Amino acid sequence: MSEKILVVENLVVSYGSIEAVKGISFEVDKGELVTILGANGAGKTTTLRTISGLLKAKSGSIRYKGLELTSMPAHKIVGLGISQSPEGRRVFGTLTVEENIKLGAYTKAKINTSTLEWIYELFPRLKERKNQLAGTLSGGEQQMLAIGRALMSEPEVLLLDEPSLGLAPVLVKAIFETIKQIKEEGTTILLVEQNAKAALKLADRGYVLEVGKIVMEGTSEELMNSPKIQEAYLGKK
């Protein structure tokens, strides 16, 4: 039987008087890769940042293995096993690649060198450049670094915010192949993407977010075959 590892119910998040997320509900099973698709401004980043504890929910609930997260501070949520790779890479430019990765373990008592080695196996490019300043990495390498850093906390659930943003097609393919590998090695993944085609190819299930509301959900196959999705998100007529 599947185990619901993350359950979001009637989540509302607002910035002042603007409601960015308007009562959404969704679930992620242990071991699944679930994608949230949506255009710019749909509320995808807001949703992930609220799960991570970086934003406070106005109402609703977020449960992780039955534990309510909505009033928990971010570092505690990381410590429980949820970690986010942010949109826009956000690496520490004046620190080296390896220093950036190690920062991901800030909730741990010590650095687990086998986790570090695993991250270098997933991203050999980061190993080659471990002493390089992160600010001098290419956009794609910074994206790898942001994911590597998130993995350093050994999360059970990895939240990925638009890992393909701004990358050349060949790098998009490489990043998605690595995400697939991370999933296959046992990490549950919630992937937010505008690149619906790449995300649906990888995901087990997906939700479509439009102006703060979930308007459709289904298996990846159902979503890929939906005329509405094909027209609005896959560029087919």
Does position 105 interact with ligand ATP (CB under 6 A)? The reply is no
Does position 17 interact with ligand ATP (CB under 6 A)? The reply is no
Does position 44 interact with ligand ATP (CB under 6 A)? The reply is yes
Query: How many other C-beta atoms can be found within 10 angstroms of the C-beta atom of residue 88?
Result: 14
Does position 41 interact with ligand ATP (CB under 6 A)? The reply is yes
Does position 166 interact with ligand ATP (CB under 6 A)? The reply is no
Residues 183-212 touching ligand ATP, rule: CB under 6 A, are: 194
Measured CA to CA, the distance from residue 6 to residue 185 in angstroms comes to: 19
Q: At 157, phi and psi to the nearest 5?
A: -125, 125
Measured CA to CA, the distance from residue 57 to residue 62 in angstroms comes to: 9
Does position 46 interact with ligand ATP (CB under 6 A)? The reply is yes
Output 73 or 166, the one with its CB closest to ligand ATP.
166
Q: Which of 57, 214, 20 is nearest to 205 (CA)?
A: 214
- Helix or strand (DSSP H, E) at 215: strand 213-219
What minimum distance in Å lies between the beta carbon of 149 and ligand ATP? 20
Does position 167 interact with ligand ATP (CB under 6 A)? The reply is no
User: Binding ligand ATP by CB under 6 A: which of 3, 15, 56, 177?
Assistant: 15
Q: Which of 30, 47, 27, 29 is nearest to 38 (CA)?
A: 47
Output 44 or 205, the one with its CB closest to ligand ATP.
44
What minimum distance in Å lies between the beta carbon of 38 and ligand ATP? 5
User: Binding ligand ATP by CB under 6 A: which of 18, 109, 110, 235?
Assistant: 18
Residues 75-104 touching ligand ATP, rule: CB under 6 A, are: 87
Amino acid identity for residue 116 in this structure: L
What minimum distance in Å lies between the beta carbon of 72 and ligand ATP? 20
Helix (H, G, I), strand (E, B) or coil at 93: coil
**Cβ 50 vs Cβ 44: under 8 Å:** no
Does position 45 interact with ligand ATP (CB under 6 A)? The reply is yes
Tokens encoding 61: 């609930």
What minimum distance in Å lies between the beta carbon of 36 and ligand ATP? 8
**Cβ 159 vs Cβ 52: under 8 Å:** yes
Longest dimension (CA), the chain: 54
The residues that touch ligand ATP, with contacts defined as CB under 6 A, are: 15, 18, 20, 38, 40-46, 87, 194
